[in-house]
Amino acid sequence: FEKLKRGLAKTRDLLLTDVNDIILGKKEIDQELFDELEEALIAADVGPAFTAELIERMTDSVRRKELDSPERLKEVLRNTMKAILKKNEAPLVLPKNGIFTILVVGVNGTGKTTTIGKLAHQFKEQGHSVLMVAADTFRAAAIEQLEIWSQRVGVPLIKQKMNSDPSAVVFDAIAAAKTGRADVLIVDTAGRLHTQVNLMEEMKKMKRVMSRELPGAPHEVLLVLDATTGQNAVSQAKMFSDSVGVTGLVLTKLDGTSKGGVILRIAKEYNIPIRYIGIGEGLDDLREFSSEDFVSALFE
Ligand code: GDP
């Protein structure tokens, strides 16, 4: 928790310093206070929908006389954030039997490879036999990076030559898993934005091949988003969920950004569970998302 708190320090500074300033010197809750609060929330990247719901709930609390002094505002703010984020809290649960397949998607540079390495490590620690799958065959660097993680965490990598068909790599991986070599497959995919249409078609094909070879696969389509990119992360969430369908989110690089509020925005606007958050480059710096811990780290 202390690590999470340190990681979220910049976001906390941005959000709470403003909120404290607004409360300071105010004797009553009035429209002016709400206007200032609204401005601070928008500045913190939490998005219009989240801000609107927050202000609405607070206005309600004033009406019900639960919120009767500016000092109580922070408490109501905290509880409301928690309530909104709670809806997006749903940890990824791996079944006891069968092969579980995770397709990891996202734009290059968001932290896909790192997340795959960290996940492979966690699942291995939990006793699973994991395979990493190099289905970004477009960049030699992508395969090399995965190779490094594969050695680092001691999890085998399924790969082919550069420029081979990503679906063929996935096919191989599923065949290997079926022979009993693995019960979890974590598939890296290409994230080149400038060829968006091809990329999405490639993903759809991969999904088709997976479900043909293994009913129910992919069991999870995990979208990796970089929290430091704020608004870009929001549009990537839209692009990927519209085109390939996303079943879970990972928000990386929450450490060292003041834009962590974007998690609230994405939670509110896209009803996709937030599975994990990344708070550093180390092996253990990928945490299961907990609304309770997240909000506590922001306010304590
Ligand atoms: P990819 O291109 O999407 O596969 O991105 P990489 O996994 O190579 O990550 C890009 C950079 O972001 C690397 O330098 C990672 O170490 C770094 N990174 C990934 N996740 C996190 C995180 O949660 N926190 C921080 N501070 N850095 C991260």
pLDDT tens for 108-159 read 999 999 999 999 999 999 999 999 999 999 889 999 999 999 999 999 999 9
Q: What is the pLDDT of residues 172-190, one digit of tens each?
A: 999 999 999 999 999 999 9
Q: What is the mean pLDDT of residues 185-199?
A: 87
> What is the Å distance from ligand 1's center to 59 Cα?
40
Provide the pLDDT confidence category of residue 193 given band limits of 50, 70 and 90: confident
Which protein residues are within 6 Å of ligand 1, measured from CB? 106, 108-114, 145, 252-253, 255-256, 278-281, 285
> What is the Å distance from ligand 1's center to 109 Cα?
7
| C-alpha distance from residue 3 to each of 55, 212, 289 (Å) | 30, 42, 14
Which numbered atom of ligand 1 lies nearest the CA of 114?
7
Residue 17, pLDDT > 70, answer yes
- Asked if residue 208 lies in contact with residue 237, where contact means CB atoms within 8 angstroms, the answer is no
> What is the Å distance from ligand 1's center to 245 Cα?
23
> Which has more confidence, 223 or 199?
223
> What is the Å distance from ligand 1's center to 164 Cα?
25
Q: What was the pLDDT predicted at 235?
A: 92
What percent of the chain lies above the pLDDT cut of 90? 65
Provide the pLDDT confidence category of residue 194 given band limits of 50, 70 and 90: low
Q: What is the pLDDT of residues 215-252, one digit of tens each?
A: 999 999 999 999 999 889 999 999 999 989 999 999 99
3, 114, 147, 148: residue to mutate for ligand 1 pocket, most atoms within 8 A of CB: 114
> What is the Å distance from ligand 1's center to 278 Cα?
9
Nearest CA residue ID for atom 21, ligand 1: 253
Residue 12, pLDDT > 80, answer yes
Q: What is the DSSP string of 101-112?
A: EEEEE--TTSSH
d(CA 226, CA 282): 16
Placement of tokens 């450490």 in the chain? 255
Q: What SS3 class is residue 152? A: helix
What's the chain's average pLDDT? 92
